[in-house]
Structure 1
Amino acid sequence: MHVLIVPSWYPTERNPIAGIFFKDQAKALQEKGYKVTIAYPEIIPLREKSSEKMGYSVKEEDGIITYRYSVRNPFPRRFKTFERLLYSSKLKILYKEIIKEQGIPDVIHAHSSFLAGWSSNKLSAIHKVPIVLTEHSSTIGKGKLTPKQKRLLSEILSEADKVISVGPGLAKTLGEYIPEDKLKMIPNLVNTDEFGIETHIGSEKFRFFSLARLDSNKGMDVLVDAYTNAFSSEDNTELVIGGDGPLKEELKNQVAKKGLQGNVHFLGQLNRDQVINEMQKCDAFVLASKYETFGIVYLEALASGKPIIATKCGGPEIIVNNKNGILVPVDNQNELADALKSILKTAEEYSPEEIRQDCIARFGKERIIQDISRLYEEAIRNK
C-alpha cells in the first residue's frame, strides 16, 4: 500500500524537531512494509529568517522519499485564507510529481485540518484518493475557533473519509462535528528505539526535568512556584527546564526573585540527542500544561523509564496510570507541590523497566501502526 503523508508542519533545518512525531510515524509505517512518501509545502513567514533554499526539492530523508516546496508567505499569518491557498497550490505541484515518479497513492494521510486537511480534501475531490485526517490542534481542542473557522472545520472533517484524534479531550470536541463511526482516537507513537533506560552518573541531587515551549500554556510559572513550595528548605533537589519561548526571561526573573538560581536551571532549546540525554539523566519528568491534545514528551520520559507528573489537561489522562506517575489538576500549585514531594519520596518504588514496557505496549510502534492500518483499510474499502 502506498501512503502519501501530508503534514501541516514538519522537521526543517531551522527547526529539526517540529512535527518529529509525524516523521517517526512515517518511518514506522515504512518499517511495516508500506510505501511511504512525504509531501510538505513549507510556508515561511516573510519576516522569519531562513537560509533554506526556496522552491521545489526531493530527496530521501531518513529512508523516506520526501518532496518539499518551500515558499515565502508575503502576507501576515493572520491572513489564513491566503496561507491555505498558497499551501494548496504547492501541494498540487508536489502531487503531480509524486504520481509521475512514485505512482498514485492508495491513501492520503493528512496531519491537522487547516492546512494539510483542507488541501488534501481538494486533491481527493479531483483524484478520488481516500483521506485519513489526524487532528493535533490545541486551538480546536481549547474551543478557540471563530465562527468562520468552525464552519470551515466542519467542512474539512465532513469531507475526510476517516478522522483520528490523538487524545480524549480533542476527541470530545471533534465529536461535535462528525458522527462517532467516522472518528477514532489513536495516540501519537513514540520511537522507543531512541529512548531507553540507561545507567548514568548524574547529579547528587534528585533531578526533575521539564521540557516545553516556554509560553503561557505550559504552566512553567506554576511549576516554579510549586517547586518552591515543595522544597523551599531543602537543597537535595533540582529542576532542569529545557526549551525556549516568549516567557523565558520572565521565568528566569521569577527564579531569581525566589533565590532559586542554584536549584532551577534553564537549558534553552534542545535538539533530539540532547532531549534523549536529559531524559536519561533525570530522575522524574514533570510538565504542568494547561492544555495538551496529547503530550509526546511524556511518552519520551516513560520510554526512558522515568516516572512522570502531568496535569489533567486533555491528553495526559490516557497516559498516566498508577504504574508510571501522578496526575494533578491544572493550575493547582498545592497539589503539584505535593506530587513533587511524593515522587521524591517514592521514586524507588517505580520500576523503570515496568514503566518502559507499559509505554511500549500502549504507545509503541506495533500498537499504533496496527490501529492506523485498520483505518487505512476501512477508508479505502468505503471510498
Structure 2
Amino acid sequence: MHVLILPSWYPRFEGDAEGSFFRDQAQGLAELGLQVGVAFADLRGPRQVRRGTTGGVTIRMDGIIQEVRSHGFNWFPRIYPGFERLWLRHISIAVNEYVTRFGHPDIVHAHSMEPAAVAAEKISREFGIPFVTTEHSTAHILRPVSSSKRSKFKRLAARSSSNLAVSEMFAEALNESYGGNWHYQPNIVASRFFTAPLVRREGATTRLVTVGYLTRRKRVDLIIEAVAFLRKRGFDVALTIVGDGPERGALTELVKGLGVLEHVEFVGQVSIFDMPTAMSRGHILVSASEFETFGVTLIEGMALGMPIVATRSGGPNSIVKPNLGRLVDEWSVEALAEAIAAVVVDFADYPAKEIRDECASVYSTPVVCAALDAIYQRACGDAR
C-alpha cells in the first residue's frame, strides 16, 4: 500500500510543534510497512522567512518517509482565496515531483478540507485513486461558514471515500453541517511520551501543568485563578504553563495581581522533543479551553501517567473517562477548582501505569495506524 499524505500544515523546522502529529502519524504508518510519502506546499510569510527558503523544491528522506516540499512566499496571509490558489499551485508542483520520483500512490490522505482535500479531490480524479479526509480545524465550529464554502465542503465530503473527525462531538457536528458520514478516528501519541519516565508526585506540592498556544480561547486565566482560589483554601498547588502566545503578557500580570508569582511558572515554547520533560514537571494535566476538536496535549499527559482535568469542550469529552480524571461542565473558577481539588485529594486513585496503559490501548501509534490501514484497504477495495 502506497499512501501519499497531504497536510494542510506541517512542521517547518526540526522540533516544530505545528502539525507534528501529522508527521508522527506518517512515520507510524511507514513503521507498519506501508510506503508513505508527504507532499507539502511550504508557504512562508514575513515572520517565517528567516527559518527557511521561499523558493524551489526540496526532496528528502525524513526517517522512513519520503517528503517533497514546494516552497513559496505567502503573499496572501489574510486573504484566504488568494492563499488557497497559491497553495494549490505549489502542492501541484510537489505532487508531480513526488510521482516522478516515487511513483503513483494507491491512496491520498488529506488532513483538513481546506486546503488539502481540495488538492486530494483533484489528484483522485487525475490518477483514478481514492482519497480520505481527516478534519482537524476548529474553524468549522468557531467561525461562520459561507454558503459557497458549505457547498464546497459538502462536495468534498461526498467525494471522499472516508471522512474522519478527531472527536465524537466533532464528527456529529460535521455530519450535521456537510453530510458525508463522518466518524471518529483519534490522533496518536508519539512514542517519545510512552518511553519517558512516568510522573511521580513527591513532596507536599501538587503541580498542575497546562500546554498550548496562549490565546484567549485556551482560558489559561481560569487555571491561574483556580490555583489562587485553591491556595487560599489551603491546597498546596502550583502551576507550570508550557507554551507562548499573545496572551502571555496579560497572564503574567494576572499572576502578579493574584499574588501567586512564586507558584506559577512560564516555561515558554519548547520543541516537540523536549515536551515530555517539560510536561513531566507537573502531576495533573489541566485544560480549560472553550473548544477543542481533539486535545493532543491531554493524551500526551495520559501517556506520561497524568490524570486529566478538562472543560467539556468537544474533544476532551471523548478522552476523559471517570478513571482518568474529571470533566468540568462550566467555565468558572469555582467549578474548575473543585474538579482540580477532587483529583488532588484522590490522586492515589489514578495510578500512573494504568493511565498510560489505557492511553496506549487507544492512542498509541500501532493502534491508530492499524485502524488507518484498514480504512485505506477498504477505500482501495471499494475503488476497484
TM tier relative to shorter chain: over 0.9
Most deviating of 362-371 and 301-310: 362-371
Counterparts of residues 160-239 of structure 1 (less than 5 Å): 160-179=160-179, 182-195=181-194, 196-198=196-198, 205-234=205-234, 236-239=236-239
Answer yes or no: is the 8 Å Cα contact 1:165–1:183 preserved in 2: yes
Aligned to 1:138: 138
Pick closer, same or farther for the CA change 1:283–1:47 going to 2, 3 Å.
closer
- Please say which of residues 81-90 and 302-311 is displaced more in the overlay: 81-90
- TM-superposed CA distance for 1:202, in Å, is 6.8
Change in 2 beyond 3 A, CA 1:218/1:139: same
1:95 alignment partner in structure 2: 95
Go from structure 1 to structure 2 and tell me whether the alpha carbon gap of 1:59 and 1:238 turns closer, same or farther (over 3 Å shift): same
1:85-134 CA distances to partner (integer Å, 9 max, x unpaired)?
11111111111121121110000001011111111112222222211110
**Aligned partners of 2:227 and 2:237 also within 8 Å:** no
Counterpart amino acid of 1:31?
Answer: E
| Matched-pair contact (CA < 8 Å) for 2:303–2:359 | yes
Provide the aligned length of Structure 1 versus Structure 2.
381
Partner amino acid for 2:322?
N
Structure 1 residue aligned with 2:105: 105
Residues 200, 345 of structure 1: CA spacing in aligned structure 2 closer, same or farther, 3 A cutoff? closer
Mapped contact 1:141–1:169 kept (Cα < 8 A): no
State the match for 1:60 in structure 2.
Answer: 61
| Equivalent residue number for residue 148 of structure 2 | 148
- Alpha-carbon distance between aligned partners in 1 of 2:201 and 2:298, rounded to the nearest angstrom: 23
Question: CA 1:351–1:200 in 2, change beyond 3 Å: closer, same or farther?
Answer: closer
Match of 1:73 in 2: 74
Equivalent in the alignment of 1:265: 265
**Do the aligned residues in 2 keep the contact of 1:38 with 1:67 (CA within 8 Å)?**
yes
Which residue matches 1:252? Answer: 252
In structure 2, the residue corresponding to 1:176 is in which secondary structure?
Answer: helix
Once the two structures are overlaid, the 10-residue window that deviates more, 169-178 or 88-97, is 169-178
Matches within 5 A, 1:40-51: 40-46=40-46, 48-51=48-51
Could you tell me how far 1:178 is from its partner in structure 2?
Answer: 4.8
Runs of 5+ unmatched residues, structure 1: none
Contact persistence 2:217–2:290 (CA under 8 A): yes
> Contact 2:168–2:183 at 8 Å: present in 1 too?
no
Q: How does 1:368-379 map to 2 (within 5 A)?
A: 368-379=368-379
Residue in 1 that maps onto 2:334: 334
Alignment of 1:108-127 (within 5 A): 108-127=108-127
C-alpha distance 109-367 of structure 1, shift in aligned 2 (>3 A): same
The residue identity in structure 1 corresponding to 2:57 is Y
Per-residue deviation, 1:46: 4.0
Q: What's the CA shift for 1:143?
A: 5.0
User: 1:292 and 1:323 mapped to 2: Cα distance?
Assistant: 21
Looking at structure 2, the residues matched to 128 and 273 of structure 1 have their Cα atoms a distance apart, in angstroms, of 39
CA distance in 1, matches of 2:74, 2:191: 36
Aligned to 1:241: 241
Q: Deviations over 1:36-94 (max 9, x none)?
A: 0010111222454433022210111132211111210222x232111111111111111
